[in-house]
Structure 1
Amino acid sequence: MIVGTRGSKLALVQTDYIRQCLYNITGEEVEKNIIKTKGDKITNSQLYNMDSKGLFTRELDNALLDEEVDFAVHSLKDVPTELNEDLEIVAVPIRESPNEVLISNYSWSELEEGSTLGTSSLRREAFCKHHNKDFELKPIRGNVETRIEKVMDGQVDATIMAEAGLNRLGLQKYIKAKFPTDYIMPAAGQGALAVMTRKDSEHKETIRKLNHYFSHQEVLAEKTILEEIGVGCQWPIGAISGIKNNQLELKSILLDKNGEILYQKTLSGSIREAKEMGVQIGKEMIEFI
């Protein structure tokens, strides 16, 4: 088998994890094909100021469709809600932390009015405003290590990142604070990986063994909200779900660009009803957009 992956250190770590899992199942090595995406080439623009659909996945999708690779590994939050009709997310392995974290030499309370926050996320900007953090916002792009370096050398006072990436890279020492998901709600699917194949792939059943049912249902509920709305990075939307006592709890929030809450909802139901719960919230939320 051949796997397609982006070339960032995080993407390679994530892909190597999947390769090792498959080796444990099959006893066979998986080759790597590193593919550069449009999102890797654009380093000087806010994501929401461009057509971000498939920004980090389209070239990998094309390699799959052209049968240059047998499967691809993505950060699930980067995967568009509308997939090519010939492609399928076959497995969602056990999810890493979905939480957001602060990277800074200062504590959250020490970051006062006028402090510079590096971010290219409309959602993170909106949550900062929601919590009355009047930061000077600066675009910050690049891989995890590059963004950390820009904070550590003083180009910006702080940035907010996904904890999962730092955990996977062993960079936890740079985490100044971990935000509860109710304080800064993450992007739908944050912390999860998506293993994608062609629908007619002969390897589907082998790859499907990597699927973690609970993680899959959690992110299905979250991503279905975005699918129902039909928007990507153009609105500050947070979504998080978790499983407790054999029940799925799904929370979502819609902010405006100034941090005001336009809509929020919590639903609980059967784990099997994950998609239906996402549809319900999405249908309600779209009335406020």
Structure 2
Amino acid sequence: MQSTRTHSTDVQTRPLRIGTRGSRLALAQAHMVRALLAAAEGVPEETHEIVVVSTAGDRILDRPLSEIGGKGLFTEEIEAGLLDGTLDLAVHSAKDMPTKLPDGLILTGYLPREDVRDVLVGRTAPTLAELPAGAVVGTASLRRGALVRHLRPDLSVVSFRGNVQTRLAKLERGEVDATLLALAGLKRLDAAHVATEILSLDDFPPAVGQGAIAVETRTDATALRARLAAILDDNTAVALACERAFLDALDGSCRTPIAGHATVADGQVAFSGLILRPDGSATHAIRVEAPIADAVALGASAGAELKARAGAGFFDPD
């Protein structure tokens, strides 16, 4: 009798279905995972199927994420496919992943991390410092908006949804004077040349997970996770475990301006975290370091410390 597709972990040789969003960047990232896995296994890339899944975050573009549900809007439909067995693995931008996953799913790991910095793409001036007073900066990120307001309170920040190409087209049409994007995404799209300024980590720290591509599977897919181990990066996993513990301690979502960045070297993890009021008027920062075995505890304690420093109501909108 012919076998049917189930949640079986016997996947050591069969082709895989890789779930992803349909934007050019999401597809580029899914193709990266497929190419690396195929090369590791010595099979043609086409052995594995890329399955595009429409998510609510891609469909609803007329409201800020903070108003319609936050990060889960980019993952829920894809995760449903993992849980019902129509997908074997999913590829996400790590910064889109909520800290709490549905029961039965796990972040198996990450590809080696790209550059974590943000860039400015300026139409009326090339740098954040050179934008004239009153210039309009468009961003969908509360973190980026709060950082702009902190550094340049004389600028106007407006909500600016859409994929990379959509935002660049809006900028070209003159809807805003500048926008902010992740350098990693532009590199993956061979579009880093559009950046007019690469923002420093000191002035403009990144979102938790920025620059990392996450691979999600079912928790029972033990054989599949063994297959994926060949393409995943241990240092990125340690850094992201620290960052996500920090975010979790702060109840972080698309509703709160939070930055966090961990690096791993010589058996140590170094972490920098920042929280901002939405209007950029106040910040709390922390820098800590610990052995990599304590990465999760380091991130969690850093988040708890900043939460205590900030006090109740720190993230409330004005």
With the shorter chain as reference, the TM-score category is over 0.9
Identity %: 34
- Alignment correspondent of 2:248: 227
Compute the displacement of 1:231 (Å): 2.7
1:8 equivalent to 2:23? Answer yes
1:6·1:35 contact (CA, 8 Å) conserved in 2?
yes
1:48·1:121 contact (CA, 8 Å) conserved in 2?
no
Listed one character per residue, the Cα deviations across residues 72-123 of structure 1 (whole Å, up to 9, x for unaligned) are: 0000010110011200111211001110100113122321211111111111
TM-score normalised by length of structure 2: 0.88
CA distance in 2, matches of 1:243, 1:26: 28
2:264 alignment partner, one of 243, 252, 274 = 243
1:44·1:139 contact (CA, 8 Å) conserved in 2?
no
- 1:115-154 to 2 correspondence within 5 Å? 115-154=135-174
Task: Structure 1: state its 5+ residue gaps.
Answer: none
1:98·1:190 contact (CA, 8 Å) conserved in 2?
yes
1:210 equivalent to 2:231? Answer yes
CA distance in 1, matches of 2:272, 2:210: 14
CA distance in 1, matches of 2:121, 2:71: 27
Compute the displacement of 1:274 (Å): 1.1
SS of the aligned residue for 1:200 comes to coil
- Alignment correspondent of 1:274: 295
Q: Which has the larger radius of gyration?
A: 2
SS of the aligned residue for 1:33 comes to strand
- 1:191-210 to 2 correspondence within 5 Å? 191-201=211-221, 202-210=223-231
Q: Which amino acid in the other structure matches residue 91 of structure 1? A: G
SS of the aligned residue for 1:276 comes to helix
The farther-off stretch of 6-15 and 231-240 is: 231-240
CA distance in 1, matches of 2:141, 2:155: 14
SS of the aligned residue for 2:231 comes to coil
CA distance in 1, matches of 2:273, 2:252: 15
SS of the aligned residue for 1:54 comes to helix
1:253·1:261 contact (CA, 8 Å) conserved in 2?
no
Compute the displacement of 1:282 (Å): 1.5
Compute the displacement of 1:245 (Å): 4.1
- Alignment correspondent of 1:38: 56
Q: Which amino acid in the other structure matches residue 233 of structure 1? A: C
1:260 equivalent to 2:311? Answer no
Aligned residues: 289
1:107 equivalent to 2:107? Answer no
SS of the aligned residue for 2:196 comes to strand
CA distance in 1, matches of 2:74, 2:236: 22
Compute the displacement of 1:212 (Å): 0.6
CA distance in 1, matches of 2:71, 2:140: 15
Listed one character per residue, the Cα deviations across residues 105-163 of structure 1 (whole Å, up to 9, x for unaligned) are: 31223212111111111111111111124222222111111111211231211001111
Task: Structure 2: state its 5+ residue gaps.
Answer: 1-15
TM-score normalised by length of structure 1: 0.96
CA distance in 2, matches of 1:278, 1:170: 33
1:112·1:133 contact (CA, 8 Å) conserved in 2?
no
The farther-off stretch of 209-218 and 11-20 is: 209-218
